[in-house]
Amino acid sequence: MLEVIPLTQARQAFLQLVQKAEKGLGRYILTRHGRPVAVLVGYEAYRALEETAKLLANPEFSQDLVKKLGEAGGEGRWLDET
């Protein structure tokens, strides 16, 4: 879950926030005057998000994903292509 933290508080605890994010124990939305301005996540979480974005940007993959989800009937299971 993302924790919302004002920038002023994040500055004071920056090292601790980075250490938690690095270990996968924290993800943070940093705010200024109550508005989101940045997100702090661990590098591995960032890489996973990047890979997911690349896959979803591929039209062939996206169409196949939608098709497979429809075939699964919303039951949360994947069907083999065969």
* CATH 3.40.1620.10 intervals, the chain: 2-41
Q: Does domain 2-41 have CATH number 3.40.1620.10?
A: yes
Between the CA of residue 63 and those of 47, 60, 77, what are the distances in Å? 23, 5, 17
Length of the chain (residues): 82
Residue 26 C-alpha from the chain's centroid: 12
Q: 39 pairs with which residues across the strands?
A: 29
pLDDT tens digits for 31-65? 999 999 999 999 999 999 999 888 888 878 777 77
DSSP states along 8-69: HHHHHTHHHHHHHHHTTS-EEEEEETTEEEEEE--HHHHHHHHHHHHHHH-HHHHHHHHHHH
pLDDT tens digits for 65-82? 777 777 777 655 555 554
